[in-house]
Amino acid sequence: MTARATAPIEGPTVVVEDLVIRYGDLTAVDGVSFSATAGQVTVVLGPNGAGKTSTIEHLEGYHRASSGRSSVLGLDPVAEHAALTRQVGIMLQQGGIPTGIRPREVLTQYAGFFDAPRDPVELLDTVGLSDRANATYRRLSGGEQQRLSLALALVGRPRVVFLDEPTAGVDLEGRDLIRRVVDELRDDGVTVVVTTHDLDEAARTADHIVIIDHGHVVADGTPASLMTDGPSDHLLFGAPQDLDVAALSAALGAAVTQVSRGEYRVEAAPSPATIAALTAWLADHELPLTDLRAQRQRLDDVFRRLTTRDAGTTGTTGTTDAETEDASGAAASGTAASGAAGRGRQRRSGRRGRGSR
């Protein structure tokens, strides 16, 4: 796979500085800053309504900023959107492809928008759809539709690719294929920006992670740095569901809470004495220890700690899904998977894959 041969950008290829996006009285994005670099996979995470989708749609050229600065390949993504469409690929989770069209047809059609496109036949093979080239879109499985959307994003040899939930609804074989494609993009020096709710996938593929919550960046770094950020003041372990946490807390002399099904947190430093007391209590009660983590956390541990919110939280900064969906729906229409919509031809209707803002 070969990226478009153009002059390299010095420094980050995607830059966001103090970005603010408002929908009426609602502030969906409130001072977000981060960057993405060529040859790396940057994953943007956040709970529903955090502001991540509004941020990415701005970078794709479909939301004006209320204030702040941003650039993609040195260009303003909104004011210079037309110049970017040939250099940026966009993969939507869903995306308005006519249900009667065939993969080979739609890829050939999109290839016509670019001066040096990838060969549609070769691209179908890359995403594992050669044997489905002549099936109508409606007859493709959800995972096959996802892979076709990925192919549409890549047909123009983009220098920057935005991938929205690329492995959602995809089976294990399809996930492995998409990961290989993303690895090839990274190796070719393409800037890959991914939004996802799949934290395991993010930890597996990311070189750089940005977590947004309530319109603010709450974490920015490599997966390793986020998961080993400073000394741990607690211990995480796995055990059967519905332990007697009151009895265990008394035995350890520290509070124990169940943070998710079969996962527990001990509010004490992970000293050898604490670990010994925990394992002894489990042994006395003939209960298995299925996991034990001290200092190095999983990404979902970090995400939960940084983004925990009360159900239904709303306000002037950060929104619920429904509020932002209503506020941004009209502005978010007309995106093309390959960026071709900005050129006014073969538009893909709607941003229906963008369920959370």
CATH of 235-294, one of 1.10.1060, 2.40.128, 3.40.50, 3.30.1370: 3.30.1370
296 to each of 125, 229, 230, 233, 278, how far by Cα in Å? 39, 8, 9, 11, 18
As given in the structure block, the two tokens for residue 235 are 């211990």
Contact 180, 171 (CB under 8 A): no
pLDDT value at position 229?
Answer: 63
Hey, which residues does 90 pair with through a beta bridge? 162
Domain regions of the chain by residue span: 14-227+310-343, 235-294
The CA-atom distances, in angstroms, between 202 and each of 58, 72, 264 are 22, 22, 23
DSSP secondary structure of 78-120: TTTHHHHTTTEEEE-SS----TT--HHHHHHHHHTTSSSPPPH
Quick one: CA torsion of 260, 264, 265, 271, rounded to 10 degrees? -150
**Distance between CA atoms of residues 202 and 284, nearest Å:** 38
pLDDT of res. 7: 56
pTM of the predicted structure, to 2 decimals: 0.76
The CATH number for 14-227+310-343, chosen from 2.60.40.10, 3.40.50.150, 3.40.50.300, 3.30.499.10, is 3.40.50.300
Domains 14-227+310-343 and 235-294 share a fold: no
What's the pLDDT score for residue 6?
A: 54
Per-residue confidence in pLDDT tens, the chain, 357 aa: 544 445 556 679 999 999 999 999 999 999 999 999 999 999 999 999 899 999 999 999 999 999 999 999 999 999 999 999 999 999 987 667 899 999 999 999 999 999 999 999 999 999 999 999 999 999 999 999 999 999 999 999 999 999 999 998 889 999 999 999 999 999 999 999 999 999 989 999 999 999 999 999 999 999 988 887 655 678 889 999 989 999 999 999 999 999 889 999 999 988 899 999 999 999 999 999 999 987 667 788 789 888 875 444 444 444 444 334 434 443 443 334 444 434 433 333 344 445 445
| Gap between the Cα atoms of 304 and 299, Å rounded | 9
First to last CA, the chain: 32
Identity of the residue numbered 243 = L
